[in-house]
Amino acid sequence: MHKALIACRAGVGSSLMLKIKVNEVIRENNYPIEVEHASLDAVPGFSGDLIITLIDVADELKTKNLPQTIIGISNIVDKNEIKQKLEEIL
């Protein structure tokens, strides 16, 4: 089972919408992923293996050499993009 953190800078708007869409994709495809939602402040204490965020935030996080796989999503309501990116890591 993978553990994913869905985060954005404030943890309110875009990441909440992304969480809803990611959960829909997970349910529709029976992916073994548990999802948490928070702001970027939660990243240092997150012990899971995936961070799902907006593409610009993902680019920033990738420079920090975090142990998690970083997934950047361009269109937070595009379930096809979300599905494709999740399948790449599963």
Domain ranges within the chain, ordered by starting residue: 2-80
Q: Report residue 44: phi and psi, to 5°.
A: -60, -30
Instruction: Note the pLDDT tens digit of each residue in 19-61.
Output: 999 999 999 999 999 999 999 999 999 999 999 999 999 999 9
Residue 74 designated active-site: no
What burial class does residue 28 get, using C-beta atoms within 10 Å of its C-beta: 0-12 exposed, 13-18 middle, 19+ buried?
A: exposed
CATH architecture of the domain with residue range 2-80: 3-Layer(aba) Sandwich (3.40)
Tokens 């997970």, located at residue: 26
Q: What gap in Å lies between CA 12 and CA 6, rounded to an integer?
A: 11
pTM (2 decimals)? 0.94
Choose the catalytic residue: 8, 26, 35, 52.
8
What burial class does residue 80 get, using C-beta atoms within 10 Å of its C-beta: 0-12 exposed, 13-18 middle, 19+ buried?
A: exposed
